[in-house]
Structure 1
Amino acid sequence: MPNDQPADSRANRSARRINRRAAASLGALGGILRDAFSALGRELVAIRPSSSRARFGTQAMLSVALAVALAHVFDLTHVWWAAISGFAVMHSKFSACAQRGVHRVLGTIAGALLGATAGPLIGDTPWLVVPLLGMIAGVSVYRALVSDAGYAWVLGAVTSLMVTFEAHRLASASATASFALLRVAEVIVGTLACVAVSALFHAGVQHYRKSRGVAPMPGALAASTADRVDGASHKTALVRSDAARLEASAEARHRRIAWHAAWSVVILASLAYAYDLPGFPQAMVTAIAVLILPASSLGQPTRKPIAARMVQRFAGCLLAGALSLALLPLIGDNALACMLALCAGVWIGCHVQTGSQGASYVGRQFTIAFIMVFVQDHEWSSDPMPALLRLAGIVSGIAVLAAVMAAGTAISRRRAA
């Protein structure tokens, strides 16, 4: 009996500690979700946009519409992926838009080549494919966080994972190559549509400024460049040991995020092979996209920013899915009505994305999910099943990534203890 009481008390203390941590985690997630919807509500109330926000939303709306129209003209298989490319590449500056377009196309081509080569060779051997997919995800996410061409690494990872995984369903090298080629074509069509619209608006703005005699931008750019130089001179005064410590801490965060991506993709790929899950591409994209944090977030602990992005992606996708599934039966297969509804959804999402109330990522994910769910393959359709499968893939990707991060946190705490 004397030996039972300490063991029992230790078990009770451990159980209470686990319950406190679970309650704290649920409370934090609830707070993030509440903040996301509150920020979204404030953005929707302040619906009056500035000229820059209206211009960005209009550019994105026209880019997506042009991408969809071109995809139908060329009879592409996945029209929604061309539409997403038309939105994702868009930037308020033409130079940044063009750079993102180049990175997206080059990353997609590299990923398609890798997938079309590896997929037919090992597509029927899950014990080889699953670790390969995890390695591709981990390496690509790490390089995306530390490289100047991070966007190209993300698109390379997404494309190679899609093509490699689809190879075991297509069951032939020629079919896999055709799938990869169509994937590249869809991205190129959407990217060219986006860059063309951005170039047109850029030329129009420059012409307007010239005709009005407005002062050119180089002065402001020079001032901002001078500020960066002054800031750099102050940074040289940092103690070398502190700089090395910060660099080592950032490197550890990069590796941890890469491991999260690798394990999430391994689990998703294993489930997809075992149960033939059709929503795996969206699940895989979610597991990678949520982890690509902006540079400003990598100098601090990343668990809370990643959790916030997961919650905001879920909120944006949930709202987009609900709105899309409500509109599809009402609009049916009327091409004009579908295009108008698509443009309205993209504009609203861009309005939220460019706001300052803290719901920017919600707006971006709403727009991507709205395009993904609302735009069907080949032609306009009111069939909700493809939309539901894509939404299920997004939710499963968030769930698996959350489980992987929770397991990693528990292991780290146990090692520290």
Structure 2
Amino acid sequence: MTLFGTLAQICRTALFGLGRELAAWKPSGARATFGAEAMLSVALSVALANALHLSDTWWAAISGFAVMQTSFAGSVQRAAHRIMGTVIGAALGTLAGPWIGDRPWLFVPALGVIGAVTVYRANGSKAAYAWILGGVTALMVTYEAHKFATVRATAIFAALRVAEVAVGTLACLLVASVFHFGPKWYRKNRTSLAASVARAAGDSGVPSAAILTPPLESARSTRMLLCLQAALSITILASLTYVLHLPGFAQAMVTAIAVLIVPPGLAIDSTRQPVMEKMVQRVAGCLLAGAIGVALLPLMQGQAVLCMLALSIGVWAGCHVQTGREGASYVGRQFTIAFIMVFVQDHHWSADPLPALMRLSGILTGIVVLAAVMLVTSRLYIPPVPQDASR
């Protein structure tokens, strides 16, 4: 009963927070600018991916959004971590996947181990985003390898994955550079008085990823519990997908890992609430984006201009909620990612909602499996590691 009461409270908080954000629709200049940057980054990512005939355009679009931060330095750092993690994860998956893909007794536990190491290292690391991208990419490539059955086909898939991420990341950096250096150039060519006014007005009040305090090392026992939950969740998802060929494994896997990354310094008995909050807000954002997106797809009829317009509006709206302070920030972020999944198909514009629904179903599957694992392990006690043993 306590668990259900906590869940109900989290749902109410997310719902009311989203309502307050939508009611206070007028954004500040900084929030509007961030939304415009993300919107242009996604649009440029899609255009470049289509021009290069990449197979999974939506991965490029998501990269274009996910890398964008409220500061230029933050975007550059996130871009470096995303590229580094993706390249390392793709290489690991290419080397390991073809050799264990036809051995489920080895393949499934190996995926669980990768997920466990990812969550353990990401929690408490200054390079958490690199660990997440590395683990997610390694899982994805390793899983696909068991279907390709050859090193060459796996390497091609991994290379395309890296290319899609690189295109989206490059698009983000190009847009962020224009917004960062453009105003500087403009102010440089103004009078000193106008420049002073511009600098004074530039204080946005929106937190920047570049000035946030670096994460501290989390308690080892807390990280071990989250690591165990990740291992069990990924193992179950991999087993179900291997046997039943469930769609959307990539999204289920990403979900199981992403929501287990918690703020640093939490005690082992304090992790359930933030993880549950992320789960609820992820589901809320995805369901809202799925409902709106699937309803709009038939109206767009696969027309590139209309689809791009709807996509841009959805990205801007999601960024508005994400940068708010009413407790629904993660709803906005997940709404934007899911909205991109709906509108950006593999390599062309389409009114077919089936690919998007399959991806969204993977997210929901990941949430259900992780919730079940958390319920089973919620009472598990992991003793703290002595200080000397951690050296």
Verify the 8 A CA contact 1:297 1:305 in the aligned structure 2: no
- Sequence identity, in percent? 59
Pick from 251, 271, 275: which aligns with 1:302? 271
State yes or no: 1:327 paired with 2:296: yes
Alignment of 1:133-148 (within 5 A): 133-148=111-126
Question: Which consecutive unaligned segments of at least 5 residues does structure 2 have?
Answer: 204-210, 383-391
Change (3 A) 1:298 1:386: farther
Residue of structure 2 in register with 1:289 after alignment:
258
- The CA RMSD measured in Å over matched residues stands at 2.0
Q: Distance in 1 between matches of 2:149 and 2:164?
A: 22
Q: Secondary structure at the match of 1:214?
A: helix
SS of equivalent residue, structure 1 residue 294: coil
**Structure 1 residue aligned with 2:323:** 354
1:373 to 342, 349, 356: 342
Match of 1:237 in 2: none
Preserved contact between residue 221 and residue 268 of structure 2 (Cα < 8 Å):
no
Residue 213 (1) aligns with residue 182 (2):
no
Corresponding residue number in structure 1 for 2:101: 123
Contact 2:222–2:266 under 8 Å retained in 1: no
- For residues 353-403 of structure 1, give each alpha carbon's deviation from its aligned partner in whole angstroms, at most 9, with x where no partner exists: 001111001000110111112211110011111111111100000001111
Aligned counterparts of 2:321 and 2:166: Cα–Cα separation in 1 = 27
Letter in 1 for 2:163: A
Which deviations, in whole Å up to 9, do the C-alpha atoms of 1:81-119 show, x marking residues without a partner? 100000000001101100100110010000000001111
Distance in 2 between the 1:155 and 1:343 partners?
25
* Structure 2 counterparts to residues 6-405 of structure 1, below 5 A: 23-210=1-188, 211=190, 212-214=194-196, 250-295=219-264, 301-405=270-374
Give 1:31 shift.
1.4
Distance 1:252 1:315, change over 3 A: same
Contact 1:162/1:281 (8 A) holds in 2: yes
Structure 1 counterpart SS, 2:227: helix
- SS of 1:291's equivalent in the other structure is coil
The one-letter amino acid of 1:153's match is W
Q: Is the 8 A contact 2:53 2:347 kept in 1?
A: yes
Using structure 2 for the length normalisation, give the TM-score. Answer: 0.90
The answer on whether the counterparts of 1:135 and 1:262 sit within 8 Å (CA) in structure 2 is: yes
Deviation by residue 1:128-160 (Cα, 9 ceiling, x = unmatched): 111111111111111111221111100000100
Partner of 1:379: helix, strand, or coil? coil
Deviation string, structure 1 residues 44-92 (Cα, Å, up to 9, x no partner) = 1111000000000000000000000000000001110100000000001
Matched residue, 1:238: none
Letter in 2 for 1:272: T
Give 1:382's aligned amino acid.
A
Structure-2 change in CA distance of 1:40 and 1:102 (3 Å): same
Distance in 1 separating the partners of 2:41 and 2:263: 24
The one-letter code matched in structure 2 to 1:160 is A
Check 1:90–1:408 CA distance in 2 against 1; reply closer, same or farther (3 A cut): same
Aligned partners of 1:298 and 1:339: how far apart in 2?
45
TM-score by length of 1: 0.84
CA offset at residue 191 of structure 1?
0.3
**Aligned residue type for 2:49:** A
For residue 410 of structure 1, report the CA deviation from its aligned partner.
Answer: 3.8
- Farther-moved stretch of structure 1 (95-104 vs 23-32): 23-32
Q: 1:165-197 CA distances to partner (integer Å, 9 max, x unpaired)? A: 001111211111100000000000000000110
Corresponding letter in the other structure for 1:373: V
The one-letter code sitting in structure 1 at the alignment partner of 2:142 is: T
Alignment correspondent of 1:5: none
Normalized per residue, the structure richer in helix is 1
Question: Unaligned stretches of 5+ in structure 1?
Answer: 1-22, 221-227, 232-245
AA at the equivalent of 1:402: A
Kept in 1: contact 2:68–2:75 (CA 8 A): yes
CA distance in 2, matches of 1:337, 1:310: 32
